[in-house]
Amino acid sequence: MSAESRTDAELLELIAGGDRNAFEELHRRYARSVLGIALRRLGDRGRAEDVTQDTFASVWRSANRYDPERGQAASWLYTVARNAIVDGLRRRPPPTVANPPDVAAGDPGPAEEAETEWVSWRVHRAVESLPDHERSLVELAYWSGLSQSEIAEYVGLPLGTVKTRTRAALRRLADELEGELR
């Protein structure tokens, strides 16, 4: 059976045994979305590419730690990516400007940054409270940038089911966050 026709979990099992073709297929499936997530989080293409490389190096080294009973392979891979992004943020802070400009920056002040961080934390916490079958769809849509059709194909569900679950998830999020973000 070719690597292209295998599930993500099967690919990880093969990767744990040193199968390069399985690794290349998993990389083909996920490198773009991992790079997109890293780029949005880090704001620097070079650092995002480094984090993407670190993610897949970690996948190669630790594929044997993936346990299909604990969740989907994609969720495991995105967790590895998130950890690589956090490590990348710790390892290399953003470059500083040697000569600051003479004009005041239009950047948000401390109060605005605190508000933005609080809202971000609150939204992430609300997303974590969603049932697994809804949370994974929201994460694929908003953090991986997949369309509903792409999500349906990826998770193997009918498009209508994906739309219904996404709509239900967004309704739950709105109810959870109502009044708190005003």
Who contacts 143 (Cβ-Cβ below 8 Å, separation ≥6)?
A: 37, 78
Tokens representing residue 136 in the block:
């994974």
pLDDT in single tens digits along all 182 residues of the chain: 777 888 999 999 999 999 999 999 999 999 999 999 988 888 888 889 999 999 999 999 999 999 988 889 998 999 999 999 888 877 765 566 566 566 666 677 777 777 777 777 787 788 888 888 888 888 888 877 888 888 898 889 999 999 999 999 889 888 888 855 54
Residue 145 has a pLDDT of 80
Residue 50 has a pLDDT of 92
Three-state secondary structure call for residue 49: helix
- Residue 116 CA to residue 53 CA, distance in Å, equals 29
Spans of all domains in the chain: 1-94, 110-176
Which CATH topology does 110-176 take? Arc Repressor Mutant, subunit A (1.10.10)
CATH assignment of 1-94, given 3.30.530.20, 3.50.30.50, 3.30.1650.10, 1.10.1740.10?
A: 1.10.1740.10
Backbone torsion region of residue 43, taken as left when φ is above 0, otherwise alpha when ψ lies between -120 and 50, otherwise beta: left
Contact between 151 and 140 (Cβ < 8 Å): yes
Cα-based distances in Å from 175 to 70, 122, 130? 29, 13, 12
Residue 138 has a pLDDT of 85
Cα-based distances in Å from 173 to 116, 145, 161, 169, 179? 18, 18, 18, 6, 12
Q: Is 110-176 the same fold as 1-94?
A: no
Instruction: Give pTM, 2 decimals.
Output: 0.51
CA neighbor of 34 nearest in space, from 83, 91, 95, 93: 83
Residue 155 has a pLDDT of 86
